[in-house]
Structure 1
Amino acid sequence: MTFHSRSGRAFWSDIRFVIGLILVAASIAGVWLIVSSAGRTTPMLQATRTIVQGEAVAAADFQVVEVALGALSDDYLAPQDLRTGQIAARTLADGELVPVAALADADDSRTTTIVIESSTGIPAGVEAGTVVELWQAPLLEDGRTAGAPRILVADVSVSAVVEPEGMLAAAATTVEIVIPRDDVADVLAAITSGALLSVVPMGASS
């Protein structure tokens, strides 16, 4: 009986020893996989300039960089993911990696560009890619006096700024903005009615 008891204990000790070795080996393999994955780089697209929302994109607007994103790789665009006929779904900053959601097919775009004249000029720092509010001061019935200003379209992007030069320096500045298609009618109505339009950076007061 004593012989069998010792044999049983030895058997279970051996099993525990083997299980311990397996767990240690699995732990080492897991650490190796984590370290290996962290050091593995993947080619991704990076914007080489500021790309404004609604702007058509091409391969020349990007460069390929090797980055270690690990599990996040699927959230960003690789070189082979770029297709013809795509536009920026939002503004991309110069040097930014390109998220999958940042590009869309042009046929699916819900934005368009429109040119306006900002009656108050353009604040310093406003350039292509800046997010602004478009304010209007509608003309009153006398046709000469402007009413109280109010927001016409909020959260729009500047596509281009054309600064007046020479003798026209005091004139209003022409700005191209990207707006939702649903707001086009309101903006055109404000323009044709002679309302005074102003571009105001987000967070500033008019």
Structure 2
Amino acid sequence: MQTDQLLARALEGDFLSIEEGVFLFENAPTALLMEVGNQIRQKKVPGDVVTWIIDRNSNTTNVCIANCKFCNFYRRPGHEESYVTDIETYKQKIEETFEFGGEQLLLQGGHHPDLGLSYYVGLFKELKELYPNLKLHALGPPEIAHITKLEGSSHIEVLQALKEAGLDSLPGAGAEILNDRVRRLISKGKCGGQEWLDIMHAAHKVG
């Protein structure tokens, strides 16, 4: 394999194999990869305008039963340091975000055993009633999987209900490593890699 040939194919829109991608990762200069990436981006989205969004992260709760080995954030149900964020705290954070020109709230949190679909539907509706222009970027695939399990429902049904309540977009959280052997070792309480992907596919179907 040769770097220039692989990059030329990439510029033509060809999909490279995993082995070819690894070869470029190990052999191509980072600056060259950045330049080729920018050329491909220019073909798809011409121009020099770069956009971004100002948002704020807020945790819904630190109560979690996923038992991830790498997490220092979670607390078991009933722990003296456990909490569920109240509406007044959300209001303060959202209004501060607006003051700084932000428009989006990223909501994530633990797998609380008592917070099911009705809780999040109610929360999203209340936030949207208070702040109609707020964008809700909330609940990663593991949280959707957790809610689905609590409800005995389907991913599509949960996502549709959340969308109707005000969910604007779904973050790609909780992927870590989409290898089930590794996931069982480090985060056995989270959904597996295939379910993570299934939820993302369902989210695209819901729109």
Q: State the TM-score, normalized to the length of structure 1.
A: 0.22
The structure number with the bigger radius of gyration is 1
Structure in which a larger fraction of residues adopt strand: 1
TM-score by length of 2: 0.22
